[in-house]
Structure 1
Amino acid sequence: MKRLFLLMIIAIGIAACTSQKPNTGTVTQTPINATTSVNENLAQGKVVFENNCGKCHGLPALEKYDDEKWKSIVDWMAPKAKLTSQQADLVYLYVSTSN
């Protein structure tokens, strides 16, 4: 539970410090914030992961990679998938808590 809370705090900090560019062609996501429940953020991360990552290639098993590797994968692939930093944070939150 501490790990999940720490990840949410980090995600909130990253989202607050980065510029948000509109992402046309994808579903608008609710920002990660303290009023959004962890389950809602995880559900949103799953939707972005499946809809954006899965449209170009097969989705890997979540347990295939550890948190550090998922971070590098999300950082590398998010620009290719045209994800906002908020969407990338949601995806990372989802994959890192699901592995």
Structure 2
Amino acid sequence: MKTRIIAVAILGIFIYSCSPKVVAPVTEAPKVELTPELAAGRTLYENNCAKCHKLFEVTKHTKEDWKPVLVRMQKKAKLDDAQMAEISNYIFSQL
């Protein structure tokens, strides 16, 4: 009896692990066309910010909300002013 219960449990786990996973919806397209400068800012944002935490949806915060966050994160991510300007320009262009 124990072996049947264990076999059914293992079979259930196997079926569950092989089931299709829910895919997150694709994020909406940027509001403005990305110039090479904005694309560079997006790349910096994605590569530097995602090292420590999940990326926040840019449009979920206002410009006033972003400003102190960007100042605080610049020090933690060890970004220079030029890199921070590119990231800020990208974020603000999407608002």
Q: Do the two structures share a fold, i.e. TM-score over 0.5?
A: yes
Are 2:59 and 1:47 equivalent residues in the alignment? no
| Partner residue in 2 for 1:96 | 92
| Partner residue in 1 for 2:20 | none
Partner SS for 1:56: coil
Question: Structure 1 regions of 5+ residues with no counterpart?
Answer: 1-37
Deviations 1:6-32 (A, max 9, x none): xxxxxxxxxxxxxxxxxxxxxxxxxxx
| Partner residue in 1 for 2:63 | 67
Deviations 1:15-69 (A, max 9, x none): xxxxxxxxxxxxxxxxxxxxxxx71110110010000001110001111111111
Q: Percent identity?
A: 35
Aligned residue-pair number: 62
Question: Structure 2 regions of 5+ residues with no counterpart?
Answer: 1-33
Q: Which runs of 4+ in 1 moved over 4 A?
A: none
| Distance in structure 2 (CA, Å) of the matches to 1:56 and 1:46 | 16
RMSD: 1.2
How do 1:1-99 and structure 2 match up within 5 A? 39-99=35-95
More helix by share: 2
TM-score, normalising length from structure 2?
Answer: 0.61
Amino acid at match of 1:58: K
**Higher alpha-carbon Rg:** 2
